[in-house]
Amino acid sequence: MSVFAGSTPQAFLYGYADTDHAGYRKLSLGGTVYTVAAGNYRWDAYITAINSAIAGSDWTVASTTTGQTTLAKGSGSAAVVWTDRLGWLLGFDQEPGASEGVVSSLAGRAIAPGAVPLLGATWDQVEISKERQFVVDRSQRGHGYVFGTSRIWRWQLVMSYNALRAVKSGWCLSGSVLVSAKDPTQLGSDAAWSSSNTGGYVEGVPIGIEGVRWLDDLQRTAEVTMLMTVAGP
């Protein structure tokens, strides 16, 4: 059964890709190696940057409404080789040097670690107290310090077993990530959450997974609690 089979995603957990450094920016199509331009891209921008890099090759990459990534040639077929880990990040489940052979199209075999489909998502702010320190120096002068200007949020994300595996691979457990109700084809039209845009995305930096609670006996669906930090006043 496909890892994308089942309920329609209600939201997505998205990551960023930094192509300023080697690792997730090259692929070979028809014997020509293409390189994504340097930049720090949100998932939708990353897909756009890949397509810009391979423009003229007659290939296009897409991140679909289910989160599955596709790679397709306009006509004919050609050899596809994953030069670095771009194939893994896109969900093709291939490591550097892996060849797909001569093909005309490919569909992702795994959930892309940078675009994880969710069956539900809620969040609330964690109440924390600021840490205060008062120091008296040798001249008996007092100095006060206040730490903790960031805010901590608890995200509760419902996802499939395969989506949880994608999260645990680590891509969306570091750097900036966001939760959006928009699928990958619509993410570019989304805007940040605000009091006037309560349907917008929320963004933060993961502290880590606080807990996993299985919602069924067969462990097919889980509620994953993640702690996130965002800048505060």
What is the tens place of the pLDDT at every residue in 9-46? 999 999 999 999 999 999 999 999 999 999 999 999 99
Q: Which of 85, 87, 43, 74 is nearest to 185 (CA)?
A: 43
Q: What is the pTM of this model?
A: 0.88
- % of residues, the chain, pLDDT over 70: 88
- pLDDT top residue among 230 and 143: 230
What is the tens place of the pLDDT at every residue in 182-210? 999 999 999 998 888 888 999 999 999 99
In whole angstroms, what is the distance from residue 144 CA to residue 160 CA?
Answer: 48
Position 34 scores a pLDDT of 98
Q: Look at residue 215 and tell me whether its pLDDT is greater than 70.
A: yes
What is the tens place of the pLDDT at every residue in 103-143? 999 999 999 999 999 999 998 877 665 544 445 555 555 44
Query: What is the rounded end-to-end Cα distance, in angstroms, of the chain?
Result: 47
Q: Going from the N-terminus, what domains does the chain have, and what CATH number goes with each?
A: 14-114 (no CATH), 116-230 (2.40.30)
What is the tens place of the pLDDT at every residue in 145-175? 444 556 888 999 999 999 999 999 999 999 9
Position 6 scores a pLDDT of 72
H helix and E strand count, the chain: 3, 18
Position 142 scores a pLDDT of 46
- Torsion angle of the four alpha carbons 76, 81, 86, 92, in this order, in degrees rounded to the nearest 10: 70
- The backbone region for 56, taken as left when phi is positive above 0, alpha when psi lies in -120 to 50, beta otherwise, is left
Mean pLDDT (whole number) for 52-63: 97
In whole angstroms, what is the distance from residue 179 CA to residue 199 CA?
Answer: 11
Mean pLDDT (whole number) for 43-53: 98
Q: Which of 183, 190, 198, 187 is nearest to 118 (CA)?
A: 183
Helix (H) or strand (E) holding 166: helix 161-168
Position 4 scores a pLDDT of 84
- The confidence band for 82, taking pLDDT boundaries of 50, 70 and 90, is very high
Position 144 scores a pLDDT of 44
Mean pLDDT (whole number) for 47-51: 98
Q: Look at residue 81 and tell me whether its pLDDT is greater than 70.
A: yes
| Phi, psi dihedral angles at 19 (to 5 degrees) | -105, 15
